[in-house]
Amino acid sequence: MKAIIKIGDGGPEVLKLGEVKTPKPKSTQLLINVKSTALNRADILQRKGLYPPPAGESEILGLELSGVVEEKGAAVTGFELGDRVFGLVGGGGYAEYAIIDYQMAMHIPDDWSFEKATAVPEVFFTANETLFKLGCLSSDESVLIHAGGSGVGTAGIQMADNVGAKVFITAGSNEKIEKAKMLGCTEGINYKTHDFAELIKNLTEGEGVDVVQDFIGRPYLEKNCSILKPNGRLLIVGLMGGPNAEIDLGIILRKRLQIFGSIMRPLELKEKISITQRFVDRWLPLLQTGVINPVIDTIMPLEKADEAHRYMESNSNFGKIILRI
């Protein structure tokens, strides 16, 4: 089969279209004829050699996919050959064929394109697990979502707004902020021109917010804690600014803050199945009826995976970058 292979660690130029062996499904797995996959920051880290796949997962990049069931294992129930499915995988999405455990697979609604389905799993799973399962965000609370123009950010804005929470975001351009407001964001802060901590304090009359979802890490830690209300929750989802940070622990004690870290890829299969089911129960019905929607920035062919990576690293996208296969 054709797949994007990595010929070394480094920049986007290490990604090349090549030929590899087609995987074979085990008893609880489906072999998917992949129609589209999507980019995630984890793909960039893996490309650089900084984030190897968990043991037993494909070395090929790609953490989500949509496509058609080509083969199924003997223990699979609920799926037939030819079914259109989508879901989260531990790797292998940048290819013509990929494996997914059937308990992680979801049927694609009839009126959805493959691209729309692909844009859902990683971002809505992540937003649900962080904002709601860990962060316990409720209708009478407020949240600051960093990287509001990212895939997870655009999902989280809609989900938080749907439950009635007040949503603030940071983004790197005024254009992204205006788009975020159309999704349900109350106010946006351009982190390139303003200090987000100062503006949050002004916008909330000094109270701060109940929840912060952060993808940056080191340079934001102290400021994130400073704008959290007593009993506030900090959700660390990424470390784009680096992992090592110092902070006065007194602020955590005085405010009784809670700090959570969240990463899905290394989790055991049973935990990922639970994450999938929580999403299906709470959010898939709202996506099916169009109350909330995945945001797609651009769609590129698989062979331009290197170009797609350069685009993501430029931080120009608002929403998901899709690769069509």
240-293 tens-digit pLDDT: 999 999 899 999 999 999 999 999 999 999 999 999 999 999 999 999 999 999
CA–CA separation, 301 and 5 (whole Å): 15
Cα 198–chain centre separation: 28
- Tell me what pLDDT residue 287 has: 98
Q: Is the pTM of this model over 0.75?
A: yes
Instruction: Name the segment(s) of the chain with CATH classification 3.90.180.10.
Output: 2-120+267-324
Cα distance between residue 47 and residue 8, in whole Å: 8
Tell me, what's the pLDDT at 164?
98
Q: Which CATH number fits domain 126-261: 3.30.1330.30, 3.40.50.720, 3.40.50.300, 3.40.50.970?
A: 3.40.50.720
For the chain, where do the domains classified as CATH 3.40.50.720 start and end? 126-261
What's residue 166's pLDDT? 98
CATH 3.90.180.10, applies to 2-120+267-324: yes
User: How does pLDDT run across 202-251, given as a tens digit for each residue?
Assistant: 999 999 999 999 999 999 999 999 999 999 999 999 999 999 998 999 99
